[in-house]
Each structure stands twice: as structure tokens, then as C-alpha cells.
A and B are shown apart, each in its own frame.
Chain A
Amino acid sequence: MNNDNELNKLIVDDTPYLTQITTKFSKRKAYSPVNLKKVCAVIPGIILEIYVKKGEIVQRGDKLLTLEAMKMKNVIIAQASGPIKSVCVENGMMVTKGQLLLEIE
């Protein structure tokens, strides 16, 4: 369904076409490259356990925390090495999809 009847420009092969834009098209999210140092929840759930503290140095492959989601305890593992810059969650906290859990420097 269209946003409204307003005509906008859509560029295909350097040519601007006058056309209506769909809601889905206008709601597109800009792409951002994956940052392995920002650990975000891939699924909503509850933080059961946190294995690291701020300032602690972790290696790639180390356990960071356990996120319970869909009755499954998911151990989240570091994808990058470095000191923990910040831990943004606490035990028992409910997190939403995409929420920042912790950051590695």
C-alpha cells in the first residue's frame, strides 16, 4: 500500500522516475556493517548469567554471558578479543532483539 498519493523520485540506472513510494520502501533501514565488538541480542530473552566484568580482557571464543530465549540457554561467545569496555545488562534482565548487551574495546 502506498504512503500517500504524493510522487517522489526513484532513481534506477541514473534515471530519476516520478512515482509513488510504498510504506515498505520508505521504512527501509540503512545498512550498517556488523561490528563484532558490539554484542547485541539476536533474539529477545532473559540474561541468566554474566561471565565477564568491565575491564577484563577476553579472547575470541571466550564465554560472555548466557541468554535464555525460547526455553533454550544460549551461551554468547566473544567474536572479537580485547578488554570489556562496558557491560550493559544485569542478571535476570529481559532484553529485546538487537539490544546492546556488552561492548569490547
Chain B
Amino acid sequence: MSIKSKIIDFFTKKEKLSTGGGDKAIQKQVAMGKLPARERIKSLLDPDSFQETDLFVEHKCKDFDMDKKQLPADGVITGSGTIFGYPVSIFAQDFTVAGGSLGLAHARKITKVMDHAVKMGMPLIGINDSGGARIQEGVNSLAGYGEIFYRNTLASGIIPQISVILGPCAGGAVYSPALTDFVFVVDKISKMFITGPEVIKTVLGEEISMEDLGGAKVQTEITGNAHFYAESEQECFQQIKRLISFIPWNNRRKAQPLSTKPPRAHFDVEKIIPSEATKPYDIRDIIRSICDDSDFLEIQERWAANVVVGFARLNGETVGIVGNQPLVLAGVLDVDSSDKAARFIRYCDAFNIPLVTLVDLPGYLPGIDQEHAGVIRHGAKILYAYSEATVPKITVILRKAYGGGYIAMCSRHLGADFVYAWPTAEIAVMGPQGAANIIFKSEIAAAKDPEAMRKLKVQEYSEKFANPYVAAANGHIDAVINPYETRNTLIHALKISANKIETRPTKKHGIPPF
């Protein structure tokens, strides 16, 4: 064979394998509103930056006539490329090849790019579109899943791991995304569940559609399993690119800084925040009026909306923002919001992203359902996460900071490096109403006009304690600041903390209240 014919032969082989499951299967995929696996990678990465690995890998299964079946690329495209010039490792399951089912060769292709990502210190992006385990391969496919989960866990906190659910992701397969940092879903395309509608129907007699059981809306609004919701695959890819621009490539680096830009939104505290502490506003208006270019990437926007978390930039540097949301459930901490905030805090801490906490909350949510759902254990997660974090921690108390909520929201006592308060701050053990009703209980009861007495005592308590000055007098906060100076104050604090070193006693690992 001449060199030329060998090269032609190579191209023929490559061409054949690159068509995946063939035109018919690809048409079917497209008809479902889904892009073929290779197209997905192309849409996500910089043009012509993708380099494929393991195109020629074949499975070794002989049972059930599998030895007669050739599965192009074994149903998963793997390799590396760049996004905005940043290196990434990527895999995309190909549903057109044996339903994207996972066998050992398929899994080993994935673990190879995972190992590569960890070694090279670059983010891993996994596009999931698979019917699940390749049944013909039996326990070998389970082994494949296990090897992936193991690597997901070891890579956690070393490199960013991003899962994109663009098709079914059912059974054991869901646990790889669950172990990664960010999960992206698309309406009507993503389906995640442990047991599908069929099993649920036969075993339990309950009927439900795939969409209602584990569709994109369910995973972003009810369960909190997914972090980003998109209407289309293209929108989803834009979200991923945006996220990539905010986070560092690995835990040894800082996120790439951009040049600083002033906020686009005008900052008028008196217009955004009502003077009465019982009236709501949208904390995101405050965030957008503080951060560079008013560019705030919110995470888990649709779940536990009483706390807002996400990435923004201050003076060009990425920061993680955690803010109570008075607009939803008065901004209380509860089971879900504690869970959401704690995980985000740990992400920022692992990846050298300073934390900015904006406080305005009446405390933890009271209720039997909360107590029975374990608000003690879940609420403790946020205390643990903040105390454990050694990245720069900057706190601004905007309005209410009552009771346990005050402590939990990165107070000085949990190791905040800078604690600021606006003149509107009320730092107290509880709101004036509740406090007056307890402290002056007998005086109110004994009064001729208990209602008038109650009002008087609430007023008295408000004047004395519902302000930032008692905390300031005790050194629990560092400064009371002009709200209009918030951005400049935060930028100053970040500059000062640029070389922060905080060490902890050596240990294998802590035991957070998972």
C-alpha cells in the first residue's frame, strides 16, 4: 500500500466512524430538537479548537452477538479544546450510537479525559445523552460508572466539573452529574431520574410523565439538582461559556481577571430599598448596581430563591456573591437556601474566589415542616461552610441581621475579614416586635392599654437596638459605611486581601453536616 492510499484509507475510516449512528439516527436526534454530539462540541468550543481522542476505540463485549456490532467511537466523543482560549477537557455521549449506552470502553474513554483534565489542570465538561448502562455488558458497565464516580470525587475541588444534560440521564448515570459542580439542563430535552416512569408505574402504580418526574423545570425549581436552565441547547452553551469566563481553570489558580468596568445600573439606595424593614426589594438590584458592568451570573436562580448566589466581578476580579433575598420568603434561611448557599461557599473557597456576603434577613424560617425536614442539620451547613472558608470574606449588612441569621451570614464570629454595615442596618437578637413582646411581657400585660404600651416598648427597643451602632461599639462590625460607597469599599477590601493567608490545623478532612 502506498503512503497515499494509506492516508486515503485513514480518511475513509475516520469519515465512517465520525458519522456516529448514521444519517437516519442523526435525523431522529435532530427531530427531537437535539444536536448531534459532534455538533454540540463544535457549538460549545472555540472554532476548530477541538481535538478528538480515542475515535478508534472498540468495545470487547462478546455476549448477545455484541462481537458482530461495531459501535463508532463506542458512543462517546472525547477530547480537548478551548473556550475563549481557556483549555477544557470534554466528552459528549452520542445517543445515535446504541442510545449512548455506557459500556466499559465508553467509560474508559471518559475516565481518560477526566484523568487528563486533572493532570493538565483544566475544567471538565461532560455532555450527557444516554439511555444508561449497556445491558449486554452487564457488570462491566457498572464498573464503568463506578470508575467515573470515583474520578468525579477525586477531581472535586481540583478542577471545575461541569455536567450538561442534553437527553436522558437515568439510573446510576445521574450520579456523575450529581458529583460535579454545575449541572446545566434544557427544557424538554433534559431528563434526570433514578427510576423512570415505567418502573414507578409497575412497582408503585403511580403514573407520571418523564418531564414531570425529572425534566429541566423539576430539576431547577423543585429538586435543586441542576444549576442552570435554558430554553434551547444554544442558550445552554452560551451559559456554559459565561460560567467558564468567571471561574479559574483549577484550584491552583485565580480566575482570569478582566479590565474593570463601572456598573451599568444606577445605584439609588433610597429608591431600591424601602425604609421599613418589613417591605421587600430585589437584592439583585443591589448586586447589579455594585458589580462590574452590572454583570451577575446567578446560580440556581429558580430554586431556594430566598437566597441569591452567583458570580460577579469587582475591579475586574471574580467574586462569589451570597445575598439574602427579601423579595422571596423575606430572605429567611431554611433547609434549601442553607444547602444552596453552603455548597456555593465551598465552591468559592475551593477555587480561590473571594466571598462577598450581603445580609438582610429576619432569621431562620419557623415551622413544623422546617424542623421535621432537619433545618438544624441543613442550617448548620452554612455555618460550617463560612467558618471553613479561608478565601477573603467580606460582609455587608444592609438592613436586618437578626439572631441566628446574623451569625450565619458570614459574621465576624465566623471569621469574616471585613464586616461593614449600612446606617440602615439593624443588628439585634430579633426584630423589635418579637423582642419587645418578650422583654416587656409583664409590663405590656399590666398596662391599662396593652396595645399602646406594646407600641411604646417596640419603639423604645427599635431606637436602642435596631441600628448598627451597638455592634459597632462592640467591634463586631468594622465600619458603618455610606451605601453609595459600597462598591469602592468592597474593591478596597479585595485589594487589601489580595495576599491573604489563613491556615488551619492539618487534618484529613472535616465532617460537615452533609
Contact = CB atoms under 8 A, between A and B. Distances in A.
Interface stretch (B63-71, B326-334, B496-504): B326-334
Interface residues of A, number: 28
A21 B278 contact: no
Contacts of B434: 12-15
Interface in B185-232: 203-206, 221-222
A21 B254 CA distance: 38
Contact of B278 (A2, A15, A20, A24): A15
B278 A22 contact: no
Contact of B305 (A14, A22, A44): A22
B329 A25 contact: yes
A23 B332 CA distance: 15
Contact of A7 (B206, B280, B365, B368): B280
A14 B402 CA distance: 13
Given A18-B279, A22-B328, A29-B369, A1 B430 contact: no
A1 B336 CA distance: 12
B302 A1 contact: yes
A70 to B, nearest CB: 6
Contacts of B328: 2, 19-20, 22
A44 B278 contact: no
A20 B329 CA distance: 6
A96 B327 CA distance: 38
A79 to B, nearest CB: 20
B147 to A, nearest CB: 29
Nearest to B335: A24
Contact of B362 (A13, A24, A31, A44): A13
Q: What band does the interface of chain B fall in when counting residues whose beta carbon is under 8 Å from A? A: 35 or more
Contacts of B204: 44-45, 96-97
B363 interface: yes
Nearest to B367: A28
Nearest to B217: A1
B431 interface: yes
Contacts of A28: 367, 369
B329 A22 contact: yes
Contacts of B369: 28-29, 31
Interface in A6-43: 7, 10, 12-25, 28-29, 31
Contacts of B221: 1, 23
A48 to B, nearest CB: 15
Q: Which of A12, A19, A25 has the most CB of B within 10 A?
A: A12
A25 B368 CA distance: 12
A93 B386 CA distance: 52
Contact of B433 (A2, A13, A20, A24): A13
B306 interface: yes
A57 interface: no
Contacts of B306: 22
Contact of A2 (B305, B330, B367): B305
Interface in B319-378: 326-332, 336, 362-363, 365-369, 372
A88 interface: no
Interface in B113-166: none
A21 B330 CA distance: 9
B248 to A, nearest CB: 31
A13 B362 CA distance: 8
B276 to A, nearest CB: 9
30 contacts: A1-B221, A1-B303, A1-B305, A10-B330, A10-B332, A12-B332, A12-B365, A13-B362, A13-B363, A13-B402, A13-B430, A13-B434, A14-B437, A15-B431, A15-B432, A15-B433, A15-B434, A17-B280, A17-B326, A17-B330, A19-B331, A20-B329, A22-B328, A22-B329, A24-B336, A25-B329, A31-B368, A70-B203, A96-B204, A96-B205
Top 4 A-B residue pairs of the complex, sorted by shortest distance between their CB atoms: A13-B434, A17-B330, A44-B204, A12-B362
Given A12-B431, A17-B278, A28-B369, 20 more contacts: A7-B280, A12-B434, A13-B435, A15-B433, A15-B434, A16-B278, A17-B280, A17-B326, A17-B362, A18-B279, A19-B329, A20-B280, A22-B328, A23-B221, A24-B222, A24-B336, A29-B369, A44-B206, A69-B203, A96-B206
